Structure formats: structure tokens, C-alpha cells
Amino acid sequence: GVVHFQTVEPSLTTQERSEVNGNYYGRFSSANREKTVHADFTVSGKKWSGLTSITFSDFGDLRSGSRRNERFPDFGKRLIYQDTDEEGRDVVISNDNPNIQIGTAYSQLDVLQKLRWRPNIHSNAVLNIQYSTSSDVPRYDNLSEIDNDKLRWGEWYYGPQNRFLASLHYRNLKPKRYADQSTLIASYQRIDEDRIERSFGRQVRLHQEEDVHVIGLTGDFTKFLDKDHLFEIDYGIDLQHNLISSTAFSSDVRSGQESGGVLSRYASDFNRWSTMGAFAYLRKKSVNDLFNWSAGLRYNLTDYTLRYSNDDIIDWPELFIEGVNGFNGAVTWSIGGTMNHPSGWQVRALLSSAFRSPNIDDLSKIRVNADEITFPNLDLKPEKSVNAELTAGYSFNSDLKLNATAFYTRLDNAIVRDAFTTPNGLTTWVTSGDTLMVVANQNIAQAEIRGISASFYWDINGAWSLRSSGNWTYGNDTGSGEPLAHIPPFYGQTVLALEKGAFRGRMMVSYNGRKPLDKFGGSEDNPELATPDGALAWMTYNLYSSYSIDERWSVSLALENITDLHYRTFSSGVSAPGRNLIVSLRGNF
């Protein structure tokens, strides 16, 4: 259940003199006029090395596909958009090309600096510093929202999104009594994100500003229980401490005068969120790899404090003003095994439990979405689940492999969004002239998620290969039978690939099934952003190629969505790119 991204680590050299090497590339994409440039260089010594990396991307307004479903010829078209005249008044402008999604352009800068020190063959330390910033990022699904045949918003964007990370990573591979391998990571992050909105024709902007500080400490240890390293135990601890500042105010567009009376996104006085996890994981491999098994235990703990200000525009209960403290803990477990039979069969089975304590978003976020506003519900209980997974695969030979996985999850106290009231019992809330229905995250008794995924791979002749996969997922409230949110429709892809010499090529077909509105999981799946028939099925045809000119230069060329199909992925408010030519040039020194 983890997607793990690891940035490159600066290399060391065995030479007497330091070495300098690097990479650079440029990329252009036609669907959004993307211009990306990147450069990195590494200075390597025997014990010290440093890596510096800079990437800048500028994205224009995204062009969607022009070939639409004949039943919904105007779905996804940006027929009009908002702007301001010379006097600062909102005006409506007709879009000369309705396939251009005006309000999707932004730019981004990312900087990475790493320093590595290896004092001996057993130890390695890396200092990792990252900084990312952006321009204002428009919220297209809101900017394109039509209410009573009029644009609802004059402005809706995220202010520059800034993120700073500093971490120190230390690894020791020298065997000791308590561990043969140990890894320690200490980190600090600061994340700034602002939301600015203004109703069309109004002079007052609403600002919500969040600053998040995250302090983390992780220890990960491995002890081999036999000399062949076939039997091992992994154990460790993970601590995360979050402090969130959430403020809100309004400002006059013309005078710049600021005032209060605006709901903050999270608790307005104080937000603290701390988590701790301690785990132990036992793994046993067989000499011939016929049967491997593993089992694990983890203790999860969350502790939080939320406190609201008594000068908010909402008359919060006294408990909210004094501060709400919460504490949740649970032990989770997993056990699994893999059998690799000489006949070509492979069978994997996994049985596990999971625990998710409501986070700050679940508990206290105040958010406007379409005609709803989400209010805090501090009575939320943790979600718990039991999960089962079974995989069967068969290799006819080294050239053809089939694989299928069935999975099932039973959720207890599943968190869903449903009708709610404000602290003084109101079922609606009026803001910026809009009357919104009040909803909140709430627990239901039980829910189920089940599905199957299947794939095959065929190495046709060493140069050509074919692979394909498909995924089906279903989820529903077992009490009411209502569908769960965030369950995607059927999706998959088929790829025919060629690798010959310096050339790499892929022909890829991506496809998604239809999801009717009655299968949407309520407002969380954004049904107002879909067609009256729900999320439509779609299929795109794509070509990718790359050629290595020599050891230092390579060029890539791609053509996506060749038929220029108009489609939206499930639950999204932005149409996907239309026909898209991508050109990249890479080099190294």
C-alpha cells in the first residue's frame, strides 16, 4: 500500500582525483505548451560527494480533446471565462477555442541539494535538502463552475505552494548485537498553502492560509537470525509530529483593507497531530525459493489537540474553545506466504488488518464543494479493516506469464460524508451569497471493498513483447447498499513494445470503463463534474519512442491520445489532454 519515491543519491568515486558529472534535459509538450528544463551535477570524491539538481516547468492552459461523445457535444467545453477590465471589474469573455481550458496554467521550480559522507565501508550519511515553489495555481473546476447560467467565481486559486524539507539519513551495515543493518532518518518539513477565492462580481476576496510544520524521526533495523540470511527480523519505530496554523481573513480588491469574519479551513487557534508506529516484521526464505513466508505486528498511536478561537463567526461549543484532545491506538498484524513451484505456478496469499485514525482533514476541515460545506465532526472513530488477498500466476515458459489477484477488504466504522448540522443546529450555511447544505464526515457500521486484477506478459521474440492488465474494484456500505466513494471504474492498458539496439518503442492503449451516476459515492466523487450518464468510458491510443544517439545523448518522441478524444478521468473536474506531442532531449557529461 505504499508508493515509494527515492531521489537519486550522489555517487562516490574510486579514483584519486574528484570527478564531476551531470545530466540535463529539456522537454516540450504541445497539449499545454509545457516547457521543462532540468540540470544536475555531482562532485564525487572517495568519501564525500554532493549533488545539486534544479528543475523548472512552465505549463500553459491545457487543451482537451476535440472528438466528443455525440450525446454530450458540449461536455467539458470552456465556452466562457472570467477576466477583469481596466477598472478591475469582472467581465465574461467568449473563448475562441472552447477546448482550451483557460485557468489551468501555472509554473513550478524544484531545487534539490544532497551531501553524502561515507567514512568507512559500513557507514553512510546523506543530508537531503529540498525546496519547491510555484506560481499561483488556479482551481479550474471552480473557475469553470456555472451557477444559474452564470460563472460562480471571479477568482479561485492556490497561492504559491512552498515546501521545504531537510533530512539526515544515516545507515550502518556493521553487524551488532541488536542489528546487522540499521537506518536512522531525522527530518523537518515546512509546507505553505493558501486558498484565495472571490465570487464573480464581488469586491471581497476570501483568504485561507495554512502553514504546516512536520518533525519526523524513523529508526529501521534488520537482524539476520541465520548465517545464510534466509531468516530475518525487521523492526523499528516511526514518529511524526505536525503543527498546523490555519488563519482566514477577507480583503477588499480595490482598497486592500483586510477584515475578519471568515471561516478558517482548520481549527483557528491551534492544531497538533502526532503519530507513532512501532513494528516488527519476521521473514523466512527457503534455500531453493520454493516457499517464503512473512508475518508482522505494528502498534499505531495517534494523539491530537484541536482548539478553536472564541472570536470565530461560529458560536463553537465551550469544549471546542477549551481544546479537544483525542487519542487512538491499535495493534495491526499481517501474515503472508509465497510458493514458487518448479512447474511454473506461483501462489501468493496475504491476510492482514489495518487501522486508520481520523486525521485533521477528516475531523476539522471546513470546505466548500459545489452546493455543500463540510463542517467539523470531532466524534469520528478510527476505521479498522481486515484484508485478504490471493494471487495465482503461471509461467508457461520464460516467454509467457499470466497473473491474477483477487482482494477483499471489510471496513468497520468506515468514514463517509453525509448530512450534518452546525453547532447551533442549522442544516444550511450562507456564505458569499450562496446557501450551502451542511455535511460532515461520519462513521457507518461496515463497508466492503472487493475486486480483481489480471495481467499477462508475452516475450514474442526477444525484441518484441506484449503485456496487458485490467483492474476491477467494487465497494459499498453493507448496511444501506450505497456505493463507497473513490472507487474507480474498470481500467487497464495494453502495450506492444520493441527494443532493438539503441531504439525503444511502445504502442500503448489505455482504457477506462463507464461509471453511472447511481454508482458514484455521493458528493465526494464530484457527480456535478460528470455527464448526466456519469463518467463515460474512454480509450486512448499512444506512441512512445526513444533513441540513444551515443553514450551521452538521447532523444524521446511521443504522441499521446492520437485520435484527439475528449475524456475526463473519474471524479476529475479537468478534461484530460487532447492529442499531445512530447519531445525530450537528454544529455550527460
278-317 pLDDT, tens digit per residue, is: 999 999 998 888 999 999 999 999 999 999 998 888 888 9
Dist. CA 103–CA 107, nearest whole Å: 13
CB 193 within 8 A of CB 161: yes
CA dist 271 and 376 (Å) reads 13
pLDDT higher than threshold 80 for residue 433 = no
pLDDT of residue 290: 92
Q: Are 494 and 458 in contact (CB under 8 A)?
A: no
Mean pLDDT of the chain: 95
Residues whose CB falls within 8 Å of the CB of residue 274, separated by 6 or more in sequence, listed in order = 239, 240, 241, 242, 302, 303, 304
Question: What's the whole-number mean pLDDT along residues 450-479?
Answer: 96
CA dihedral (493, 520, 194, 89) in degrees, to 10, reads 110
Contact between residue 78 and residue 100 where contact means Cβ atoms under 8 Å apart: yes
Closest CA to 253 of 84, 108, 399, 467: 84
Residue 513: C-alpha distances to residues 194, 281, 453, 539, 570 (Å): 36, 38, 14, 9, 10
* Residue 411: predicted pLDDT: 95
Q: Cα 558–563–564 angle (5° rounding)?
A: 85
Dihedral angle sign, alpha carbons of residues 178, 180, 186, 187 = negative
- pLDDT of the residue at 430: 86
The pLDDT of residue 261: 85
Query: What per-residue confidence (pLDDT) applies to 370?
Result: 78
Give tens-digit pLDDT for 217-259: 999 999 999 988 899 999 999 999 999 999 999 999 988 899 9
Q: What is the 3-state composition of the chain as percent helix, strand, coil, each rounded to the nearest 5?
A: 5, 60, 35
pLDDT at 1: 59
- Percent above pLDDT 70 for the chain: 100
The answer, yes or no, to whether residue 264 has pLDDT greater than 90, is yes
Angle at 260 between CA 211 and CA 257, to 5 degrees: 100
According to the model, what pLDDT value does residue 458 have?
96
pLDDT for the residue 538: 98
Residues 555-577 pLDDT 10s: 999 999 999 999 999 999 999 99
Residue 445 confidence class, pLDDT cut points 50, 70, 90:
confident
Q: Is the pLDDT of residue 495 over 90?
A: yes
Threshold 0.85, pTM exceeds: yes
φ and ψ of 92, to 5 deg: -105, 130
Give the count of beta carbons closer than 10 Å to the beta carbon of residue 36: 16
Which pLDDT belongs to residue 250?
95
For 247, 300, 329, the CA distances from 356, given in Å and listed in that order, are 27, 9, 9
Report residue 398's pLDDT band, with 50, 70 and 90 as the boundaries: confident
Q: Is the pLDDT of residue 518 over 70?
A: yes
Ramachandran class of 289: left when φ > 0, alpha when ψ lies in -120 to 50, beta otherwise:
left
CA separation for the pair 252, 267 (Å, rounded): 24
Distance separating alpha carbons of residues 316 and 314, to the nearest angstrom:
6
Looking at residue 16, its pLDDT comes to: 87
C-alpha–C-alpha distance, residues 412 and 195, integer Å? 34
How do residues 334-361 score in pLDDT, each as one tens digit?
999 999 999 999 999 999 999 999 999 8
> Is residue 296 within 8 Å of 282, Cβ to Cβ?
yes
